[in-house]
Amino acid sequence: MHSELILYQTEDGQTKIQTRLENETVWLSQAQMAELFGKARTTITEHLGNIFKEGELEENSVCRNFRHTANDGKTYDTRYYNLDVIISVGYRVKSLQEQHKNELSKVAQDFVQHLEQTHKQLKNKNNGN
């Protein structure tokens, strides 16, 4: 299993998100999605709950716990969500914002687009294209 870390940073350097690339997809935690989309973590949690409750995605197929070591030296399991979830949350955040005549932030759009392109490139590479 190949795993690597990718750092996404906006041109102005205001937003930096480190994402894990593993098994042909990227993974973000709820906190990272909240930062990416400029929303509270509770908002992300609500969208995630609805995505799974409505059957849009199967939770067991798109979530994974990754173990990491914190600054205090302790090891913790953190739940991460793959690209399919990140895109679904992004669309829901965008939909809510459009209801209030706002657009999804440029940062979030760029990041999701970057992830979609990376995902397509990995699929093509693994399919021999």
Sheet holding 16-22, edge to edge: 3-9, 16-22, 25-29, 75-82, 63-69
Determine the Cα–Cα distance for residues 13 and 124; give it in Å rounded to an integer.
30
Q: Is the pLDDT of residue 100 over 50?
A: no
pLDDT at residue 75, as a whole number: 93
* Structural element, H or E, at residue 81: strand 75-82
pLDDT digits (tens, 9 = 90+) for 106-127: 556 677 677 777 767 777 776 6
Tell me the backbone φ, ψ of residue 104, rounded to 5 degrees.
-60, 140
Which residue is listed with tokens 């914190």? 70
- Taking only the tens place, the pLDDT of each residue in 76-98 is 999 999 988 998 998 888 765 55
d(CA 19, CA 11): 17
